A and B are shown apart, each in its own frame.
Chain A
Amino acid sequence: MTAAAVSTESAHVRGRKYRSMSRDRRWALRWSYLCLSMFAIFFLMPPLYMLITSLKTSAEISAATNPWWVQHPTIGNYLELLGSWQYLTYFRNSTLVSLIVVAITMLISVPAAFALSRMRFWGSVVLATGVFLTYLIPETLLFIPLFKMFAVINEYTGIQLINRWWVLLLLYPTLTVPFCTWIMIGYFASIPKEIDEAALMDGANYRQILTRVFIPVALPGLIAATIFAFTVSWAQFLYPLAFTTSADQLVLPVGIITSLIKGDVFNWGQIMTGALLGAAPPLIIYAFLMDYYIAGLTAGATKG
Chain B
Amino acid sequence: MVDAAIKASPLAGGLRGRAVLRRIMQRRSTIAFLMTLPLVLLIALLVLYPALYSIRLATLNKSMERFVGFGNFLFLFKRETFWMVVQQSCIFAITAVIFKALIGFVVAHLVHNIPARGQRKWRGTLLVPWVIPPAMSCLAWLWLFDPSYSAINWLLHLVGVGPVAWTGEAAWARFSVILVNVWIGAPFFMIMYLAALKSVPEQLYEAAAIDGANWWQRLRYVTLPMMRNIMAITALFSLIVTFANFDIVRILTAGGPIDKTHVFATWAFRVGIEGGDLPLGASVSLFMVPILTVAAIFILRDVHRRASEMS
Contact = CB atoms under 8 A, between A and B. Distances in A.
Contact of B286 (A116, A141, A170, A177): A141
Interface in A130-151: 130-134, 136-149
Contacts of A28: 113
Contacts of B141: 46
B268 A140 contact: yes
Interface stretch (B40-48, B76-84, B166-174): B40-48
A114 interface: yes
A96 to B, nearest CB: 17
A141 B299 contact: no
Contacts of A189: 310
B107 A39 contact: yes
A304 B107 CA distance: 24
A66 interface: yes
A213 interface: no
A261 to B, nearest CB: 9
Interface stretch (A8-16, A73-81, A191-199, A235-243): A235-243
Contacts of A133: 296, 300
B43 A275 contact: no
A278 interface: yes
Interface of A, helix, strand, loop or mixed by DSSP: helix
B70 interface: no
Contacts of B233: 301, 304
Interface of B: 2-3, 28-29, 31-33, 35-36, 38-40, 42-43, 46-51, 53-54, 57, 64, 103, 106-107, 110-111, 113-115, 122-129, 131-137, 139-141, 143-144, 146, 149, 151, 154-155, 183, 186-188, 191-192, 195, 230, 233-234, 237, 240-241, 244-247, 250-251, 264-265, 268-269, 272-273, 278, 281-282, 285-286, 288-289, 292, 295-296, 299-300, 302-304, 306, 310
Contact of A138 (B126, B136, B146, B240): B240
B128 A145 contact: no
A244 interface: no
Contacts of A282: 131-133
Given A49-B140, A237-B135, A36 B107 contact: yes
B110 A67 contact: no
A68 interface: yes
A205 B2 contact: yes
Contacts of B51: 137, 141-142, 145
A115 interface: yes
A294 interface: yes
Contacts of B33: 121
A82 interface: no
A287 B124 CA distance: 8
A158 B36 CA distance: 30
Given A66-B154, A115-B31, A53 B296 contact: no
Nearest to B288: A141
A226 interface: no
A111 B251 contact: no
10 contacts: A130-B43, A131-B43, A136-B299, A140-B265, A237-B133, A238-B247, A241-B250, A272-B139, A286-B128, A294-B123
Quick one: which of B36, B48, B306 has the most chain A CB within 10 A?
A: B36
A256 B187 CA distance: 25
Contacts of A144: 54, 57, 268, 272-273, 278, 281-282, 285
A156 interface: no
B110 A44 contact: no
Given A134-B47, A142-B46, 8 more contacts: A45-B144, A68-B155, A121-B33, A137-B292, A142-B50, A256-B136, A279-B131, A286-B127
